[in-house]
Amino acid sequence: MRVLFWGTPEFATPPLRALLGEGFDVVGVVTQPDKPVGRSRSSVQAPPVKQVAIAEGLTVLQPEKPRGPEFIGELRTLAPDISVVVAYGHLLPQDVIDLPRRGTLNIHASLLPLLRGAAPIQAAIREGHERTGVTIMRMIQKLDAGPTLLQIATPITPDETYGELALRLSELGATALIEALALMDLGKATETTQNDSDATYARKIDRDATRVDWTADARAVSAVIRAYDPRPGAFSTINGLDVKLFGAKTTPADSNATPGTVLAADNDGLLVASGGGAVRILQVQPAGKKRMAAGEWARGRGVSVGDRLA
């Protein structure tokens, strides 16, 4: 089966490697253009999936937008039997979806119809879900609403971060994709229509979404911090400056302190009062500085017991 792979971030890379190792004929990769990096924006960084593709000698297409006669012509030249999309970042027009003779599949990092949208991994952690998974679905133009071919579930562990869960789901996605393609090849794949009335949506990640509300209980505060660890990072302010917070763990605390008050600052991290209980923060990234141990920040007098995060 001739497979055209679409993807951009780290989540896209393991499925590509798995395809290359399983005897599928990957005919090329479509990814977003290289992006400027650094303060001067004078150098560019290729998406991880492009680096893998080049190492394997594959054709790489990087359109600004996945449309137009020239781009369609390039796709036709590759003659894919099927397209596989994971976290590409653009909605595909119908003619692109329909171009491969067997259509286009999408790997989505949730158990659809739950958590449709661009940030399902973060939302699953933030909302306190006990499990999530991956779904292989047939792509249609409505957001993450196509019929499903295969789902694999996995529990979310109590202290799991976005980065840790994303890595596990990328590996799970590779397994699910190979199984779904094999079922299609054998003519045994079953497509199940999603129930739109059961659909939920992952909240768009913006600055407001990543601000910590210390009046919430410790479990909710921890979930917000873990949902954006390692990026973009949940944050609070102290003395008018932002500080990103990482490595949150809930801790029983019998304190009448105002939520956000630093109860302890030592080698074990920062212990911060919440609306119920307290949260221990293991690492921080103060504005303009590198990520560091919270105890190191305290020793440098960036924070002290009695200070308040807001």
Query: Is the predicted pLDDT of residue 10 greater than 60, yes or no?
Result: no
Q: Is residue 307 part of a domain?
A: no
Q: What is the mean pLDDT of residues 129-143?
A: 96
Query: Is the predicted pLDDT of residue 159 greater than 60, yes or no?
Result: yes
- Residue-wise pLDDT for 239-272, tens only, equals 899 999 999 999 888 778 999 999 999 999 999 9
Is the same domain home to 154 and 190? yes
pLDDT for 15: 60
Is the same domain home to 214 and 235? yes
Is the same domain home to 140 and 59? yes
Q: Is residue 31 part of a domain?
A: yes
pLDDT for 55: 84
Q: How open is the CA angle 171-52-161, to the nearest 5 degrees?
A: 35
Instruction: Count other C-beta atoms under 10 Å from residue 165's C-beta.
Output: 21
CA distances in angstroms from 36 to 39, 91, 224, listed in the order given? 9, 23, 29
Is the same domain home to 11 and 59? yes
Share of the chain above pLDDT 70, in %: 95
Q: Is residue 112 part of a domain?
A: yes
Compute the distance between CA of residue 235 and CA of residue 211 in angstroms, rounded to an integer: 5
Q: What is the mean pLDDT of residues 55-70?
A: 92
Is the same domain home to 191 and 155? yes
Compute the distance between CA of residue 259 and CA of residue 66 in angstroms, rounded to an integer: 47
Looking at 167, 198, 229, which one is the last position of a domain? 198
Q: Is residue 77 part of a domain?
A: yes
Is the same domain home to 234 and 169? no
pLDDT band at 127, cuts 50/70/90? very high
pLDDT for 183: 93
Q: For the chain, where are the alpha helices, taking DSSP H only?
A: 13-21, 48-55, 69-78, 94-98, 120-126, 162-185, 207-210, 218-227, 294-299
Rounded to the nearest 5°, which phi and psi values hold at 117? Answer: 120, -175
C-beta separation of 99 from 72 below 8 A: yes
The number of residues in the chain equals 310
Distance, C-alpha 104 to centroid of its chain: 21
- Residue-wise pLDDT for 140-157, tens only, equals 999 999 999 999 999 999
pLDDT for 14: 57
Q: Is residue 280 part of a domain?
A: yes
Exposed, middle or buried by CB within 10 Å (0-12, 13-18, 19+), for 204?
exposed
Query: Is the predicted pLDDT of residue 308 greater than 60, yes or no?
Result: yes
Is the same domain home to 26 and 124? yes
pLDDT for 166: 94
Looking at 174, 198, 222, which one is the last position of a domain? 198
Q: For 5-135, where are the alpha helices, taking DSSP H only?
A: 13-21, 48-55, 69-78, 94-98, 120-126
Instruction: Count other C-beta atoms under 10 Å from residue 305's C-beta.
Output: 13
Is the same domain home to 166 and 211? no
CATH number at residue 242: 3.10.25.10
Is the same domain home to 136 and 27? yes
Q: Which domain holds residue 181?
A: 2-198
Is the same domain home to 161 and 215? no
Q: Is residue 310 part of a domain?
A: no
Q: Is residue 138 part of a domain?
A: yes
Q: What is the mean pLDDT of residues 174-196?
A: 94
pLDDT for 18: 62
Rounded to the nearest 5°, which phi and psi values hold at 269? Answer: 110, -165
Q: What is the mean pLDDT of residues 34-59?
A: 84
Angle between helices 162-185 and 13-21 (to 10 degrees): 40
pLDDT for 292: 97
Is the same domain home to 91 and 225? no
Is the same domain home to 16 and 161? yes
CATH number at residue 136: 3.40.50.170
> Residue 236: in which H helix or E strand, if any?
strand 234-238
> Residue 47: in which H helix or E strand, if any?
none
Looking at 198, 230, 260, which one is the last position of a domain? 198
DSSP label at residue 116: B
> In the chain, how many domains are there?
2
**7 vs 229, residue with greater confidence:** 229
pLDDT for 150: 98
Q: Is residue 309 part of a domain?
A: no
pLDDT band at 11, cuts 50/70/90? low
pLDDT for 19: 64
